[in-house]
Structures are given as structure tokens and as C-alpha cells.
Structure 1
């Protein structure tokens, strides 16, 4: 295989990482360059997502933005790149490999890390049914586990002063959460082996919710193998007072935390969309310096051209 094709294969093969490998946490430098910046799946630092919510929210990216960027980079490499361009392409691929999950989730406002959902869950063989794909009911169980982590996350990381109350939301002791309805929209059939990450978000801030006693939650099930959303889930959860035997309004401490959570979702949505646009711009620049430049000629990998024949002496005949 020519060296250029081997290089393209190595760069594009980064998306086929082993499903059993673990992702290491990387320290983000103080002023990272656009190519080397990465976002860890660990809990966000205190100063994360501190930009104000602005009305000029970037538009949502294409559902296939990740595979499109990878294909565009591959085209540049197959066309022929200088050594510096190969390094640049490799840095973009590395950024996509590191950030893909936080960008897919974040571009829709889903918050990752810190047990905010169900991350890196192994799909087991027994979860497939007779049609050889993960059974539809299993997605509901995935969402249930993610929802429990989402709610109990507030007790540990967001509002430790009310840790007991947050933890009891998932029990019938006092005020708890009851599922009123759940709807799943399946995008493609997942199979074993795979890993998934599941995240929840508030569709509305508490002040704008359709009912003072309800939480409308959206969830996504993301396939690590395909690096795509495999299912979308909509949940209507009711706040229920088990002691009184009836539904009740959100408690005051819940309002405060959930309002801030919704604001953080919006900031993360803007950040992730800008980052995707930034990476897309870097790929566009790579294209304009390779196959899309005015004088572009594809490197066919044939080696150096043969030397031209010497010109005939002046005045010589045929």
C-alpha cells in the first residue's frame, strides 16, 4: 500500500477504537489551541460553561456532522497533503476522537460527566432479542438508570445541602418522582458488542413547565460503536407526595437547582455548537489548501516524473 494510503488508513481508523478501552482524562491547558483543545468526561470545573446565554445561539449541526468531517478529512489525505498538512489533519482527527461524545450530546444541551447519566455502559449479548438487535425494552431500562443518576447527581455535586431530599426522590419515603409517560423513538438497531452513554436534560426550565408538578425530560442513547444517537426518549415525570397520596408542586430547593441546570444546558449547547463549527472551519481550511485550491493536482502516488528529453540542436534535421 502506498505511504499516502497507509497514512489515510491510520488517521481514519482512529474512529474504530476498541470498545473495551478506557478514555484517559487530559488536562486542558490555560490557552489551548483550537486543534489541541479537549473536553474531559469528568465533572466540569467550577468555571466551566460560564459564558452568558445569548440570543444568537448557533444553529444545530447536521445529525451526521461527525462522519461528514471524517470523510472530508479522508478526501484531503487521499488527494495528497504536505507533511505540515498531514500533521494538521491528524490534530483535527485527534480532537474529534477525544471530543465526539461531549459534542454530540452537548450540541443538544445534554450535560456529560459527573454521573449526570449512564456513561460507558457495556451492551451485553443477552440484551439482544431473536431479531439479533438490542431489544426495545432495554432502551427503557437504560433511560431509567440514567434518570436515577441524573437525579441523585444533584445530591452530590449540585446541592449537597439537600442531599437527603434529592436522594429520596427515587424512593417512596416522602416526595418522589413517578413516571407518567415515556416515549421512545428508535433511530437504528444496536447490536452486541457496543457501549452506550445515556444523558437526560430538562426540556423546559421549571418556571416554564406545562405543569408545576411535572418535569418533561429528554434523553438520548448514544452508541459508542457508531458514534451516533441510537434512540431518543421523552419522559413526563410527576412529583408525587407519598405521604399525602397525591401529586405536588416542585419543592423550592428543586426550583433553584433546576433553573440553574437549564441555564447550564443552554450554555453547553452554545459552546458545543461553536466548537463543531470551529472544527468544520479547520477542515474547510485544509480542503482549500489541498484538493479545493485553484491549482490543485491530485497526487497519484507515481513517484517523480521522468526527466524531459533534451532539445534537438538548432539547425539539425529530423
Structure 2
């Protein structure tokens, strides 16, 4: 199981709950984005992004996201959701996600997101603070 999430420095575990299933008897497609969001927030907490945002007013804003469904999840199951940042740019970074089913021992979905650095006090895009860049590299194990 761990090998399926190799390279993902932040991994969370979540139960698949009955209420996430839809009329087609599998987890509704929208729920996968909630799984991604939960992993994204876990990543942000790991890198102290919320504290930086509180101090500076500069934080993340989601610009785009997508999901590639590999097979349908169903209740009961437990999933692990991995998050990583493979690419940093001046004012944004890419996050990648992977959802692994414990019951089936395989990848259920993969996705990515474009996260832009946003100054919430000025309501404008801004450069990624050096502190944020440093913390991402630390979490990823790529410190300079």
C-alpha cells in the first residue's frame, strides 16, 4: 500500500462513509474533490501556511483542479490520500493528489490543482512568499 503513495510526503487516511455514495451505488464524483481538499489542507498545515496567511494576509487560492477516476469507490472502505507539490513557479504551485483504496489495494483516483498565491488584503494575485517556498521545499524534502 505504501508503495502506491511513494513520493507523497503528506498522506491522510479517511473512511468512505455510506452517505458519500449516490444513486449509482458508488462514491459520488464530487466527493473525490472533498478528499483532495482535505489532503490539501493537511499539506498546508504541515507547512504552516495558515500561520503565514494569518501574519501576512497572503495565502492560497485554488485556480483550477481536476480528477482522473480509475475505479469507483464504494462503502465500506478506507482510503489514503496523498498530496505533493511537484512544481513551483513565481506566483503559484501545482499540487498532485492520489487516492488509494485499502480494500482493493489500488489507485482509485488521481488529480491535480493549480494553487495561486493571493493577497487577501489587496484582493490580488501576488508572488509566492519566500517563507512559503521554503516550507514547501522542506515538506517535499528538497530544501536548498
- Same fold per superposition (TM over 0.5): yes
Cα distance in 1, alignment partners of residues 138 and 46 from structure 2: 14
Structure 2 gaps, min length 5: none
Residue 130 of structure 2 corresponds to 252
Cα distance in 2, alignment partners of residues 164 and 262 from structure 1: 19
Q: Identify, as 1 or 2, the structure richer in helix.
A: 1
Select the residue among 124, 134, 143 that pairs with 2:27.
134
Residue 148 of structure 1 corresponds to 41
Residues 11, 39 of structure 2: 8 Å contact kept: yes
Residues 47, 136 of structure 2: 8 Å contact kept: no
Which structure has the greater CA radius of gyration? 1
Q: Return closer, same or farther for 1:163/1:125 CA change in 2, 3 Å cut-off.
A: closer
Cα distance in 1, alignment partners of residues 141 and 95 from structure 2: 15
Tell me, yes or no, if structure 1 residue 178 matches structure 2 residue 61.
Answer: yes
Residues 46, 139 of structure 2: 8 Å contact kept: no
Question: What's the TM-score once normalised by structure 2's chain length?
Answer: 0.90
Residue 51 of structure 2 corresponds to 164
Cα distance in 2, alignment partners of residues 142 and 240 from structure 1: 23
Q: CA RMSD in A?
A: 2.0
Select the residue among 203, 228, 231 that pairs with 2:86.
203
Deviations 1:188-247 (A, max 9, x none): 00110000111111122x3xx3xx111101000111111111000110011100111101
- The count of residues paired between Structure 1 and Structure 2 equals 142
Report matched runs for 1:51-66 at 5 Å. none
Deviations 1:4-50 (A, max 9, x none): xxxxxxxxxxxxxxxxxxxxxxxxxxxxxxxxxxxxxxxxxxxxxxx
Residue 194 of structure 1 corresponds to 77
Structure 1 gaps, min length 5: 1-99, 156-161, 265-318
Question: What's the TM-score once normalised by structure 1's chain length?
Answer: 0.42
Residue 123 of structure 1 corresponds to 16
Report matched runs for 1:1-318 at 5 Å. 100=1, 102-106=2-6, 109-111=7-9, 116-119=10-13, 121-155=14-48, 164-165=51-52, 168=54, 174-204=57-87, 206=88, 209=89, 212-264=90-142
Q: Identify, as 1 or 2, the structure richer in strand.
A: 2
Q: Return closer, same or farther for 1:163/1:134 CA change in 2, 3 Å cut-off.
A: closer
Higher relative contact order (CA 8 A, sep 6+): 2
Runs of 4+ in 1 over 2 A off after TM superposition: 259-264
